[in-house]
Amino acid sequence: MSIKPFSEIAEYYDLIFENVDYEYWAQYITRLFSFSKLRVKEVLEVGCGTGNLTKELKRLGYDVVGVDVSEDMIRVAKKKLPDVEFYIGDARNFSIDRTFDAIVSTFDSLNNIIGTEELFKAFRNIKRHLRMGGIFVCDLNTSYAMQSTWNEALFVRVLRGGIYSIWKGEYMGDGVSRLRLTLFVPYESNLYRKIEEVYTEQGYTLSQVKSLLLRAGFINVWAFDELSFEKPTNKSKRITYAAI
């Protein structure tokens, strides 16, 4: 059964991505915060998912608010972090009646937005929620990643609890890939429940992203190869951006 992305899968999301080092990711992001002249205290996480990075940023002492388009992911996040403020909303048009010192969006969340004009809407809306001099940090998969990593890719894993996870990628052209995730979840002896979700992601080039950020009103934009301070190359698969 094919279902709406990030809905039923929310219950198993943390299990699927349990090997992601969210603690390191949070520490890396806070190093990028130093590019801003503001003392960063209040942080908005766009595409917060089930709140894994939210939790780590909160542990580092930040006042974090989360927003995600998936009601089911937010439901899981609220259970995990009942004292954190969460909102359901799309990056392109969410509206929170306050501004923040920093806004972050990681784990290629914004790659789920298809088309440069739609991504521009997200950047413009994010800029609207930043305080003057505030910093925006995000990462995006590149077009190269879509054509290489996700072109006819097949990844099979056995997760804790005997759950089978199957990722299948298909490159559609123009920087767009379709990713199909299938889970087989045991529920009785020798019986499995099948869950299937299909995601569409678009990879963006360094020049595209920089141009859109500047157009959205950011003045300075830095770009680094994934989780590093090295310059991106034409074979970078994920690029981290910091913009003020």
Residue 1 confidence (pLDDT): 38
| Domain extent at residue 184 | 145-201
131 CB-near residues (< 8 Å, 6+ apart): 38, 99, 100, 101
User: Cα(57)–Cα(68) distance, rounded to whole angstroms?
Assistant: 16
Residue 4 confidence (pLDDT): 59
User: Cα(163)–Cα(160) distance, rounded to whole angstroms?
Assistant: 6
Q: 163: number of CA atoms within 13 Å, CB side?
A: 20
Residues 138 and 161 occupy one common structural domain? no
Residues 107 and 64 occupy one common structural domain? yes
User: Cα(194)–Cα(94) distance, rounded to whole angstroms?
Assistant: 33
Q: Is the pTM of this model over 0.75?
A: yes
Residues 30 and 90 occupy one common structural domain? yes
Residues 42 and 104 occupy one common structural domain? yes
Residues 113 and 219 occupy one common structural domain? yes
Residue 45 confidence (pLDDT): 98
CATH number at residue 94: 3.40.50.150
Residues 9 and 100 occupy one common structural domain? yes
Residues 188 and 224 occupy one common structural domain? no
Rg of the chain over all Cα atoms, to the nearest angstrom: 18
Total structural domains within the chain: 2
Mean pLDDT by 10 residues, the chain (244 residues): 64 93 97 96 98 98 98 97 98 98 97 97 98 98 92 90 94 94 91 93 98 98 97 97 98
Residues 124 and 65 occupy one common structural domain? yes
- Cross-strand pairs, 240: 139, 224
CATH number at residue 173: 2.20.25.110
Q: Degrees (nearest 5) of the Cα angle 60, 62, 63?
A: 145
